[in-house]
Structure 1
Amino acid sequence: MAGRYRLTSVETVESEGSWLFTARDQHGNDEEFFLVPCADEDRPPVEAWRNRCTHENQRLYREDVGAIVRDGGVVCPKHGSMFDSCSGYCDNGEAADTTLPGVEIDVDDGQVYLVDDDVTFLRAGPSRDDDDDGGPSSTSHLQL
C-alpha cells in the first residue's frame, strides 16, 4: 500500500464502540480488522486489531454486536479472554500471555488512516467469507 487510506473517524469508532474493515495481506489473503477506542493518553485514541482470537479461530467482532468491549478490553465471545484495547495483550483465560496482531494506523485531525505497508484496504465491513468459525460451510441447495 502506498501512502495512507482514510478508514473512518475517531468519533464513529467511539460512538459505535468498534468498526470493522477488510484488507488484503502481503500473501494475498483477505483479513478482517477492527478498530476500538483506546483510553490510554500515551497512545492514539483508536487501535486496530486482527479479527481473530489468538486462542482459536474465533471472530472477536461480530456483525450483530460489534466487538464486545468492557473495562478497556475486547472480550472473546467464546471463552471470555479479555484483550487490552490499547495493547492487544491478554492476561487471562484461554488466550493468556498472547497479543492480538494489529495493523498500523494513524490518527490525524480526528480521522483514522490505514498506513500499514503490508496490507491493502479492500472495504468497510466483513470479508466475503460468511464462515463464522473457520470450519467448512454448507453448499447444499436441497429443498424438501
Structure 2
Amino acid sequence: MAVRHRLTSVETVLEDGSWLFTVRDGRGDEEEVILVPCHDDDREPVEAWINRCTHEDQRLHREDVGAVIRDGEIVCPKHGSMFETCSGYCDNGEAADTTLVDVEIAVEDGAVYLTDDDVSFLREGGTSDDDGDEGPSSSSHIQF
C-alpha cells in the first residue's frame, strides 16, 4: 500500500479551480497531476487526472493560468476538446471517446490525500522540463 500523502484542502481546489502537483510513476518518470472540482453528489468533491490531453501530449493545466474549466469540463487549450471534471470523459473534438488517466485520491475531513499505489508524491507544482514552453499554439474554436 502506498504512503498516504496530504496534498491540499478541498477548499483550495474549489477556490482556485484546479491544483497541480508532480508524482513519480512506476517507470521512474515524473508526471503532472491536476486536482479539479467535481460537482456530483455521488462522487468526491475533487478528482485527480494526469495533466495531459488524450489527443496530444498537451498540458491541460498550465502554471500561468491553471486549468480552464467551463460548465464542469476541462478545456484542452490546443484543440478545445472538453473533458468532464468528474469522469474525465471527452465526447467532442479531437479527443472524442477518450478518458483522462486518473490518479487515486481520498477526501477526508476537507483534506485531499494521494492514495494511488502506482505513484509517489514529489512536489506541489509542475515538472521542471518546460524548456521555455509558453503554451500551445491553439487551433481551438473556443476563445479564452
Matching residue of 1:21: 21
Return the letter of the residue paired with 1:92. N
Q: State the Cα deviation string for residues 96-128 of structure 1 (Å, max 9, x = none).
A: 000000100000000000000000000000111
Which contiguous aligned blocks of 4+ residues in structure 1 show a shift greater than 6 angstroms?
A: none
Aligned twin of 2:142: none
1:58 is aligned to: 58
Letter of the 2:89 counterpart: Y
1:3 to partner: Cα distance: 3.1
Q: Structure 1 unaligned runs (5+)?
A: 134-144
Q: Output the CA distance in 1 between the equivalents of 2:3 and 2:63.
A: 29
Question: Match of 1:101?
Answer: 101
Corresponding residue of 1:42: 42
What is the TM-score normalised by the length of structure 1?
A: 0.90
Cα shift readout 1:32-72 (whole Å, capped 9, x = no counterpart): 00000000100000000001100001000001110000000
Q: Secondary structure at the match of 1:11?
A: helix
Distance 1:42 1:128 in 2: 36
Q: CA deviation at 1:11?
A: 0.2
The one-letter code sitting in structure 1 at the alignment partner of 2:76 is C
Counterpart AA for 1:124: E
Q: Percent identity?
A: 73
State the TM-score, normalized to the length of structure 2: 0.90
1:2 Cα deviation after fit: 2.7
**How many residues end up aligned between the 2 structures?**
133
> 1:130, CA displacement in angstroms?
1.1
| Distance in 2 (alpha carbons) for counterparts of 1:81 and 1:53 | 8
Give me the whole-angstrom Cα distance separating, in 1, the residues matched to 2:106 and 2:4.
8
3-state SS of paired residue (2:44): coil
Letter in 2 for 1:17: G
Residue 62 of structure 1 aligns with an amino acid whose one-letter code is: R
2: CA distance, partners of 1:82 / 1:71: 10
The one-letter amino acid paired with 1:24 is R
RMSD: 1.2
Tell me the distance in 1 between the aligned counterparts of 2:102 and 2:21.
Answer: 13
